[in-house]
Amino acid sequence: MTSAGVLPDFAIRQLIGSCALRAQPEITAAQVQPASLDLRLGAVAWRVRASFLAGRGRSVAERIAEFGMHRIDLSAGAVLEKGCVYVIPLAESLALPPGVTAVANAKSSTGRLDLLTRTITDGGTEFDRIPDGYTGPLYAEVCPRSFSVLVREGQRLNQIRFRQGQAQLSDSALAALHASEPLVDGTPLISEGLGFSVDLRPATGTLVGWRAKPHTGVVDLDRIGHYPARDFWEEVHSEDGCIILDPGAFYILVSREAVTIPPGYAAEMAPYLAMAGEFRVHYAGFFDPGFGHAAAGGQGSRGVLEVRCHEAPFVLEHGQVVGRLVYERMFEIPEQLYGSGIASNYQGQGLKLAKQFRAG
């Protein structure tokens, strides 16, 4: 399609074949997504005193020796405690060719659990951003914020996306794309990406979201549809189109707009503006080609918003802009789209908790 863009699934497999992507044990077909690769936890974790970046000329192993408290075996499963910080070597490592950069992000279910997960590298000065030519190991920094979680070696909490050249669409290019293929229902708000707002006036009923309970049991990440939502979440209702966010609380809300990602594009969710309010929206941020698109069995999918309020209570109102989607060109259209035969959990979604929870 272009000389620059996000690498699709078959190009990721080529990186694996050329040993630019390495792993022990070997990477499986199930890890390769339409525009990203799922990363797997290794066999051990280190509880550390604080979050850190390696910094130029330093390795993550050096910083673990400096800040580490104790080593945890994940081979049979272990609990990561709420409020603690852990560093976990990943099974995958990189030897990126010149001109190919990478960006990592938490997977959707990881963000919806308020499980802060960021990727760090040797010599790294930013979370989740990996420069071209990087050769070395990958680590996940994991900090459970709302619930303690049971994790095991091989689980996939974060994912990585590869880019060649400049892939991001300008506002004018984004407007032209919307004109040819509507990206949202209604008039788009385009400013450094596609703006989206919060839905606090549902079509039926008054349920607009959930708030994490402060004192709960452990969530085993392998138990799908297992936990009654009421044991971990409080329902949030609104009859007048607004809610008040409590400082320190974590909420699951949903966007008012139904979003479409055409097959030749990918997107990443980004915060809107720091001055827009006393809250942060989003932890997990990749939207794959085909998300909400008719070609992949979708009819528009709303974005789930992971919201944490900061220092002061804040009134959030229906239709308030809270985030933006940054669209990027794909290098080529992937062989498989999101939702089309790859067991995608959130195609056609509305307001929805992480896959570990069930209604009740």
Per-residue pLDDT of the chain (360 residues; tens, 9 = 90+): 457 999 999 999 999 999 999 999 999 999 999 999 999 999 999 999 999 999 999 999 999 999 999 999 999 999 999 999 999 999 999 999 999 999 999 998 898 999 999 999 999 999 999 999 999 999 999 999 999 999 999 999 999 999 999 999 999 999 999 999 999 888 899 988 998 889 999 999 999 999 999 999 999 999 999 999 999 999 999 999 999 999 989 999 998 988 899 999 999 987 655 445 556 666 557 889 988 876 545 567 888 888 888 878 989 999 998 888 999 999 999 999 976 554 445 444 578 899 999 986
Q: Is 322 helix (H, G, I), strand (E, B) or coil?
A: strand
d(C-alpha 288, C-alpha 261), whole Å: 7
pLDDT at 1: 45
What are the Cα distances from residue 198, in Å, to 286, 313, 351? 19, 17, 11
Q: Which two tokens stand for residue 143?
A: 């900090």
Nearest to 117 by CA among 153, 87, 162, 137: 87
Look up residue 315 and give its amino acid: V
Nearest to 354 by CA among 117, 111, 146: 111
Check if the beta carbon of residue 30 is closer than 8 Å to that of residue 154. Answer: no
Give the H or E element holding residue 171: helix 171-180
Would you put residue 106 in left (φ > 0), alpha (ψ -120 to 50) or beta?
beta
pLDDT at 109: 87
pLDDT at 301: 80
Look up residue 223 and give its amino acid: R
Ramachandran angles phi, psi of 346, nearest 5°: -125, 20
pLDDT at 302: 84
Nearest to 51 by CA among 151, 131, 124, 103: 124
pLDDT at 272: 56
Strand partners, 140: 88, 119
What are the Cα distances from residue 134, in Å, to 21, 67, 92, 99, 105? 11, 24, 13, 11, 17
User: Which regions of 213-288 does DSSP assign to beta strands (E)?
Assistant: 219-220, 227-228, 233-237, 242-245, 250-259, 265-271, 279-281, 286-287
pLDDT at 340: 53
Strand partners, 150: 79, 220
pLDDT at 142: 97
Helices and strands counted in the chain (H then E): 4, 28
Sketch out the chain's domains with CATH numbers. 5-164 (2.70.40.10), 171-358 (2.70.40.10)
d(C-alpha 304, C-alpha 252), whole Å: 7
Ramachandran angles phi, psi of 30, nearest 5°: -65, -20
Look up residue 47 and give its amino acid: R
Q: Which two tokens stand for residue 183?
A: 């990206």
Residue entry with tokens 């971990």: 232
d(C-alpha 219, C-alpha 145), whole Å: 12
Pure H helices in the chain:
9-17, 60-67, 108-112, 171-180
pLDDT at 286: 85
d(C-alpha 62, C-alpha 44), whole Å: 16
pLDDT at 277: 55
* DSSP single-letter state for residue 218: P
